Amino acid sequence: MEEMHMSSTLPQTTDDILAADAHLVQSWADLNGLKEPHARTAIVAAKGVMVRDSNGHELIDGIGGLWCVNVGHGRHEIIDAISNQLSTLDFYSTFYTFTHPTAAALARKLAELAPGNLNRVHFSTSGSDANDGAVRILHHYYERLGKPSKKLVLSRHGAYHGSTYLSIAMTTPAYSKGWSKAEGIVHHLKKPHYWREGANMTEAEFTDLLVADMRHEIERLGSENIACFIGEPIMGAGGVIVPPKGYHKRIQALCREYDIKFIADEVVTAFGRLGHFFASKAVFDTQPDIITVAKGVTSGYQPLAATIMTDEIYDVVSGPDGVFTHGMTYAGHPAAAAAGLANIALMEAEQIPERAGVTGKIFENTLRTLEDIDIVGEVRGSHFMMGIEFVRDKASKTLFDTKLNIGMLVARKAQEKGLVARPLGHILILSPPLTLSEEQIAKIGGILRESITEVMNELPKNCR
């Protein structure tokens, strides 16, 4: 890893960084817990699949930044493209009558990669606002079609779609405890988690139940009032949940039957994580009306997201008599668009999605071997999108007391051994760069086995 060239005005030591950091309000964190000295980890440099903390520890980045550094850290092809872009055109917007070649080229490239007639790209800066925008655009679409009552959104328990006021409302209600959210717009369907919710049923029966639940909800609300269904092909931040076989196609069929638009939130699943640029068609054989992307589209080197819609939706919202009153200043920022183009070029040149299709399976299979450990209830996910659920009792799938914070205990242990993993209550999430070698995959497997076993052996007797 190269030495950092930090400006001398930046805090250098861990203590100095943490003192400055007292002013930074962390996201999605127990802010009270962070008041403990050294509860935070400062990452100061990164290269390839490795990051370095402010104490000089080298760690495998098992979470790819935040499900996003798909091509690995420090790729000069992307960094140079950003720098060259800024030297030529630092900023211009894609508002009003303006555009610029980099955003235009990225829009064309995304249209080429996205399945079917998803040919129109609206840029934004985060997955949250790409999802928020998808719903706004559909509301406007139905207004223009003379169906102004079509406003409701179907989402699911277990979903994560972001944390703007609307995208948190589309996220699982469990994440809104003590917080307000947009009320009256979103209805949550059952969580499609067979292992936990499908007791005494075959997988096919469980799928029937989920489809029946959706049909019942549509009939109850009235399809004339429903604009869209939104779903991640594999749920990520709600616990890495892979719906049962055949589910996606049947949900899409219901949407078509009732004139409900189908939004696939591919913020995590696109750009190689499951072995393809887009997972909707290639993995789940669905053709959404809108796909939203963020994260892997630039591998996290710049903030950029997109709401990719069909020609049909675009034709309606671009019709006469009305202005498209939606968009954010930095949407399609030249530096972010340059990062997106360079990232995709790199992925194509090195066949990163195709290779992730192979190494991702090795990663998945390596993690699945952890299921023989007593406190591992389920290892789930696909390719480079994996979750490990811990249980106090395997047979009954009983969870540990939440106060024990089992995921955090294992994550801390793994970090001491050189791996960053993400705790989520009783689950541990792994979403590494797609460029991991087989040797690094084996190392991650070893660290996880040791960490989980040590935590299990150190648990107080009354916890087991």
Ligand X SMILES: Cc1ncc(COP(=O)(O)O)c(C=O)c1O
Residues forming the site for ligand X (CB under 6 A):
67, 126-128, 131, 160-162, 232, 236-237, 265, 267-268, 294
Angstrom distances, CA of residue 44 to CA of 341, 355, 383: 26, 29, 28
**Of all residues in this chain, which one has the CB nearest to ligand X in the complex?**
127
| 392 within 8 A of 417, measured Cβ to Cβ | no
In angstroms, what is the minimal distance from the CB of 30 to ligand X? 18
Q: By C-beta, is 188 or 413 nearer to ligand X?
A: 188
Q: By C-beta, is 161 or 248 nearer to ligand X?
A: 161
In angstroms, what is the minimal distance from the CB of 449 to ligand X? 27
Q: By C-beta, is 162 or 357 nearer to ligand X?
A: 162
CA dist., res. 251 & res. 94, Å (int): 35
> Which pair of structure tokens corresponds to residue 184?
């009256």
Q: Spell out the alpha helix ranges (H) of 89-184.
A: 101-113, 127-144, 165-170
Q: By C-beta, is 27 or 462 nearer to ligand X?
A: 27
In angstroms, what is the minimal distance from the CB of 381 to ligand X? 13
Q: By C-beta, is 280 or 366 nearer to ligand X?
A: 280
Q: By C-beta, is 266 or 316 nearer to ligand X?
A: 266
Q: C-alpha 212: how far from its chain's center?
A: 27
> Which pair of structure tokens corresponds to residue 120?
């129109």
In angstroms, what is the minimal distance from the CB of 305 to ligand X? 6
Q: By C-beta, is 128 or 366 nearer to ligand X?
A: 128
In angstroms, what is the minimal distance from the CB of 348 to ligand X? 24
Amino acid (1-letter code) at residue 185: I
Q: By C-beta, is 160 or 262 nearer to ligand X?
A: 160
Q: C-alpha 462: how far from its chain's center?
A: 36
Which residues, 6 or more positions from 341, have their beta carbon under 8 angstroms from its beta carbon?
81, 102, 105, 106, 109
In angstroms, what is the minimal distance from the CB of 275 to ligand X? 17
Say which DSSP state 260 is in: -
Q: By C-beta, is 107 or 134 nearer to ligand X?
A: 134
In angstroms, what is the minimal distance from the CB of 423 to ligand X? 15
CA dist., res. 301 & res. 463, Å (int): 42
In angstroms, what is the minimal distance from the CB of 64 to ligand X? 11
Give the orientation angle of helix 247-257 with respect to helix 203-221, to 10 degrees: 20
In angstroms, what is the minimal distance from the CB of 14 to ligand X? 27
Neighbour count for residue 432 (Cβ, 10 Å): 29
Q: By C-beta, is 51 or 134 nearer to ligand X?
A: 134
CA dist., res. 240 & res. 429, Å (int): 8
Q: For 386-396, b where at least 16 C-beta lie within 10 A, e where not — what string?
A: bbbbbbbeeee
Amino acid (1-letter code) at residue 176: S
In angstroms, what is the minimal distance from the CB of 205 to ligand X? 28
Written as one string, the DSSP assignment of 180-232 is ----SSEEEE----HHHH-TTS-HHHHHHHHHHHHHHHHHHH-GGGEEEEEE-
